[in-house]
Chains A and B, each alone.
Chain A
């Protein structure tokens, strides 16, 4: 079908901020200063440190130990084609590296230039970002590289004295995942009808309820609804309830001013279309009982690009909104309970 979209790309991107707590803060603050540390707990040095002993869940305590910057690879693999989430944009290794002074390995990158240079037992050393670029996150270590001098790291295994207060207590965690969904037959059916200027519902043959929007099933009877159950519903109705939202800002938020979303009980259809916008009534004057009719985008401006499987009845860019018909309001009490 030419006029509806078959695939939707959705980027789940969000700047999370993680608070670190005392153990991770100590690690981060030391790392930003160029010192990798571990913690001695349960008779072994765990590096990077955990705030609990993984075997017993007991608090790890604050017996900090300097580890690295050199270490020994125990196990490795090779990433021939890095993804956008890998810190390096060229082929590299991942390895378990036991840092000098530590008893458990850490997982990190090994940048050798070639897979054939990777080997268990190889001595590597941490290559850190420039001091000004460090934020105290594990990727302050750009990668481990083959150690120029395989001799033990100086000072490894010695106690580390943490400052009274850590200067790093948070880390940024940027989520950047891409999803590609494809339009379901029900979504395509809905989008296609909208493109033709029709609002459709599906009528359940078992309970006679009409469902407006692309759902493809009756949630009461648990039966599948398909093209044979399509009924056309009118683009006219009465506002039965509404919500006025004062938008809170968040990354990705597109609204800045209060906006209204209305439920509309469609004339003669016993079906409600939810979350619709009324174009010619100021938000402060939205009320139950207003007669409205659908406003279609001009045919040449219609696009089903936003109508994906999660829109559940959204009109995308095809339904611009709804406008008042000028008929006198209906009594609110008769409609108010039809939120659905």
Chain B
């Protein structure tokens, strides 16, 4: 029978930095993969297949780098697969890896996602190799302006998200930015980058990698540490552009969440989900995704931020890891979200652990806010009882 249960038994990530001057590209992905193997109490030889995800190859200037990385990731004589779905790619890499187990194709799958942005320049790559690149911030700023206007949110919501995620990041030993002394004033006074987005409301550019090991039900039950169970996965896409498209509230974002909620039996996301890792590269995306993923009612997402509900000690913590605002190796950013959700339900998130987290969701999005990847993970196969 298809669709067998999938357990996450190994999670690893690098220390993310603006520039990981101490490692090669192979060294970077191996650092994450070796931590995941250690977590799973496995060795390279235990892995059946490797899935590699990353954003455009222009970032590092290596075409299809999975070819060069095959032996570095222990894939020799095994299947190796390469995913690229723009910003959502890290999430897709996790989902494609989990499907290789749920379909019964493989028993132990290693998904790795990375970006070594310091090798090149993200603005260059995002501009297609041309000048006057508006970058991701430039592309999303109009959407954010529109959201602020239609929701009536006060201007400090974005600043609050920027502070909250950085304080969470300060608790995460792997985070790139650890800004324990960040304040609303500091965010507010930081330079305007893409009006209305300020410097401290924007994600950094990081070198980093993330690795996740999936296994089947038996493997999950036999694991030495508590596993996370993949309860549902979804990838939804819509066109980046058509006349009248509303990129603030993408149809695909709704569809993606609805599919997950239906599969898991979630009828009241705000109540039933314990915490969420959402892809928030710019502060305002927290309330925007809370609404587009139907966790908050339309126009109400910012109130969750404002009330402190999304803080680590709130009733719906968001981006416990510090999120994309604290670490952004683009290709890995999605898998980092997915991995943090799994860490939470495994109870292994240490200083950024949400107490009693049994059901978590993670999301990543890409391109013109048009590609969405999401999964729900649980501490058991039926966390809602």
When A and B assemble into the complex, do they touch directly, with CB atoms less than 8 Å apart? Answer: yes
* Cβ–Cβ < 8 Å partners of A252 in chain B: 124, 129-131
* Cβ–Cβ < 8 Å partners of B134 in chain A: 243, 245, 261, 275
* Cβ–Cβ < 8 Å partners of A248 in chain B: 123, 135
Determine the distance from Cα of A310 to Cα of B133 in the docked complex, in whole angstroms.
13
Q: Are A253 and B120 in contact (CB under 8 A)?
A: no
A74 to chain B, nearest CB (A): 20
Q: Are B243 and A21 in contact (CB under 8 A)?
A: no
Within 8 A of A (CB), among B216-267: 239-248
Within 8 A of B (CB), among A1-49: 10, 12, 14, 16-24
Binds A, one of B136-144, B309-317, B328-336: B136-144
Partner of A270, one of B60, B143, B145, B244: B244
Q: Are B44 and A58 in contact (CB under 8 A)?
A: yes
* Cβ–Cβ < 8 Å partners of A12 in chain B: 58, 129
Known: A272-B243, A340-B244, A340-B247. Contact between A246 and B194, CB under 8 A?
yes
* A250: nearest chain-B partner, CB-CB: B121
Partner of A210, one of B24, B60, B150, B243: B243
B96-140 Cβ-contact flags toward A at 8 Å (1 or 0): 000000000000000000001011110110001111111101110
Determine the distance from Cα of A169 to Cα of B149 in the docked complex, in whole angstroms.
49
* Cβ–Cβ < 8 Å partners of A336 in chain B: 145-146, 149-150
- The tally of residues in B whose CB lies under 8 Å from a CB in A reads 60
Q: Are A14 and B21 in contact (CB under 8 A)?
A: no
- Tell whether A303 is near chain B: CB-to-CB under 8 Å: no
- Tell whether B22 is near chain A: CB-to-CB under 8 Å: yes
Q: Are B132 and A175 in contact (CB under 8 A)?
A: no
- Tell whether B73 is near chain A: CB-to-CB under 8 Å: yes
Partner of B121, one of A14, A56, A242, A246: A14
Partner of B143, one of A20, A220, A274, A339: A339
* Cβ–Cβ < 8 Å partners of A209 in chain B: 242-244
* Cβ–Cβ < 8 Å partners of B25 in chain A: 18
Provide the main secondary structure of the chain B interface: loop
Q: Are B132 and A19 in contact (CB under 8 A)?
A: no
* B27: nearest chain-A partner, CB-CB: A21
Determine the distance from Cα of A261 to Cα of B96 in the docked complex, in whole angstroms.
37
B238 to chain A, nearest CB (A): 9
Known: A218-B242, A337-B146, A340-B241. Contact between A246 and B192, CB under 8 A?
yes
Determine the distance from Cα of A55 to Cα of B30 in the docked complex, in whole angstroms.
15
- Tell whether B45 is near chain A: CB-to-CB under 8 Å: yes
- Tell whether A161 is near chain B: CB-to-CB under 8 Å: no
B201-218 Cβ-contact flags toward A at 8 Å (1 or 0): 000000000000000000
Known: A57-B71, A254-B131. Contact between A16 and B146, CB under 8 A?
no
* A270: nearest chain-B partner, CB-CB: B243
Q: Are A245 and B244 in contact (CB under 8 A)?
A: no
Known: A243-B141, A340-B245. Contact between A51 and B24, CB under 8 A?
yes
B binding-site residues for A, Cβ under 8 Å = 19-27, 30, 44-45, 58, 60-61, 71-74, 76, 116, 118-121, 123-124, 128-135, 137-139, 141-143, 145-146, 149-150, 191-195, 239-248
What would 16 A/B residue contacts be, using CB atoms closer than 8 Å? A12-B129, A20-B24, A22-B27, A52-B26, A54-B76, A56-B45, A173-B61, A209-B244, A219-B240, A247-B132, A250-B124, A251-B121, A333-B149, A339-B143, A339-B146, A340-B245
A binding-site residues for B, Cβ under 8 Å = 10, 12, 14, 16-24, 50-52, 54-58, 169-170, 173, 175, 209-211, 218-220, 241-248, 250-255, 259, 261, 263, 270-272, 274-275, 288, 310, 332-333, 336-340
Top 7 A-B residue pairs of the complex, sorted by shortest distance between their CB atoms: A254-B131, A57-B74, A219-B239, A21-B24, A241-B142, A21-B27, A54-B71
